[in-house]
Structure 1
Amino acid sequence: MRSYAIGDIHGQLDKLHAAHARIMADRARTGDAEAPVIHLGDLVDRGPDSCGVIDHLVKGQLSGQPWIVLKGNHDRMFGYHLDGRRDPALRAGLTYLDPRIGGRRTLQSYGLDPELPAPRVAAAVPQAHRDFIASLPLYHRMGEVLYVHAGIRPGVALDDQTEDDLVWIRAPFLDFTGAHPWLVIHGHTTCKTPEHHGNRIDIDTGAGYDGPLTAIVVEGREVFVLTDEGRVPLRPGAA
């Protein structure tokens, strides 16, 4: 059972095109045109072209590409901002327009002044983009693998996980060393290179901070990082 995944994109359209190209090259080697590509969320903020990223993903899905796109905390913050609200899980003292969040660059990618009031911002963002952000799923299960943006709360059934945890969680998930019911593949927490911790794999390699955008292929519980030269095995303990 094969699937692909791409880490946190953060408005980096050129890097997204390159990640898709590496996946297409792997498809050509395997002859598999149907395996899904799971995008782990954080489509927007920090990078130069969040509008272009969303437009590319919307059009790809409409054209029949087997693309699954999950919701990240930055996507949720963007949606809240368009509704004139602040994400309640955002750390005290921060707003979506804080430079540390990167929301200004998202609005600028739509040709907007970030200081515009929310109703004018929302009116200028295409309805197809707003609907897309609002409808993003929180996770995707495939065989022995669970794809999610941030992680899961250990010991809690999947149906009982909260959205806050699935898009925002860190320490309780990152510090847990026991087995989960699945191999959890996630982003959200930036690492220099993909990390395999046995029970989870982190593929957020900092595209939003000028790092690479990682693409992987998963077969059963075997994971390979996709490079321009082909597959590189990612095994437990690799970091």
Structure 2
Amino acid sequence: MERSYAIGDIHGHLDKLRAAHDRIAADRARCGDAAAPVIHLGDLTDRGPESRGVIDYLIEGIARGEPWLVIRGNHDETFLQFVLDPARPNPVLPEDETWLSKAWGGSETLRSYGVTVPRLGWSRLDLPALHRAAHEAVPQAHVDFLRARPYWHRRGDCVFVHAGVRRGVAIEDQDPNELIWLREPFLSDPEPFPWLVVHGHTVVGDDPVHFGNRLALDTGAPFGGPLTAAVIEGREAWRLTDQGREVIAPPERNGPRFSR
């Protein structure tokens, strides 16, 4: 049975990312599997203090041969758009919001690159000047890395995406915007998909949730919650803790959680 590891939305929290990888390393040692990939479900950037550090960490790990995969998230896409072409309309953001609006956390990302962002409402900022500063401050290697991120990854019984999938559409034919932005009707869909959909994007509280047809791993790292690292074998999943594995039980399984 294929084993995969997955990590939820990081949002600039390098300390939590390192801790998640430590828990994965401990699980690898217990099961003797050094080859199973680690799939990061996107949203590397925004809100947290170390977006630049997170991207550096991932680039360096992949370069030294770590079996890490990184999926594109909507925050990564919006950051990339600001650096490359801030005038291009975002098809999802409301007209009265930008990546620099407080709720999006783009200012924290720019600060991690040494770009000073005044603490003003975004409508009072000199956006062209900030764009020029971002274009100069963000290394080309980071731009290239983000541009190369895939929108999905399929492995065994699982499809890994940032946000969700559209029912009845082959994974190869899914709309990329929906793969990083979708909520409904995906979140309320109770029927099985062809795969277990492993995703982030929508915070489910402090604990990951197995809905039977999907596994939700965004546990709100930028809002004081943990950064979840999980191991998936077939369609079964466990959260990794400092004490070992803790089952993420699908709804049809009753009884207490257990560690292994």
2:85 aligned with 1:71, yes or no? no
Given the alignment, which residue of 144, 150, 168 partners 1:131? 144
Amino acid at match of 1:198: G
Q: TM-score, normalised by structure 1?
A: 0.97
Matched-pair contact (CA < 8 Å) for 1:84–1:119 = no
| Aligned pairs (5 A) from 1:70-109 | 70-85=71-86, 86-109=89-112
Larger Rg: 2
Distance 1:56 1:92 in 2: 34
Quick check: 2:115–2:133 contact (8 Å CA) kept in 1?
A: no
Deviation for aligned residue 1:119: 2.7
Asked whether 1:207 is paired with 2:221, we answer yes
Contact 1:71/1:138 (<8 A) preserved? yes
The answer to whether residue 51 in structure 2 is matched with residue 50 in structure 1 is yes
What TM-score do the two structures reach when normalised by structure 2? 0.89
For 2:83 and 2:92, the matched residues in 1 are separated by 16
Shift of 1:171: 1.2
SS state at 2:5 partner = strand
**Which residue of 214, 222, 228 maps to 2:236?**
222
* CA-CA distance at 1:84 after TM superposition: 3.0
Which secondary structure does the structure 1 equivalent of 2:143 belong to? Answer: helix
Is residue 83–residue 119 contact of structure 1 (8 Å, CA) maintained in 2? no
Tell me the equivalent position of 1:16: 17
The equivalent position to 1:189 in structure 2, one of 195, 198, 202, is 202
Structure 2: stretches of 5+ with no match in the other structure: 118-125, 254-260
1:33 aligns with: 34
User: CA offsets per residue over residues 152-183 of structure 1, 9 Å max, x none?
Assistant: 01111212211110000001110111110100
Deviates more, 1:89-98 or 1:145-154: 89-98
Matching residue within 145, 153, 166 for 2:179: 166
Amino-acid identity (%): 54
Structure 2: distance between partners of 1:87 and 1:130? 18
- Tell me by how many angstroms 1:222 deviates: 1.2
Q: CA RMSD in A?
A: 1.3
Query: SS of the residue aligned with 1:92?
Result: coil
Quote how far apart the aligned CAs of 1:88 are: 2.4
- Aligned residue pairs, count: 239
Q: Secondary structure at the match of 2:238?
A: strand
Counterpart of 1:57 in structure 2: which amino acid? Answer: L
Q: Equivalents in 2 of 1:23, 1:98: separation in Å? A: 34
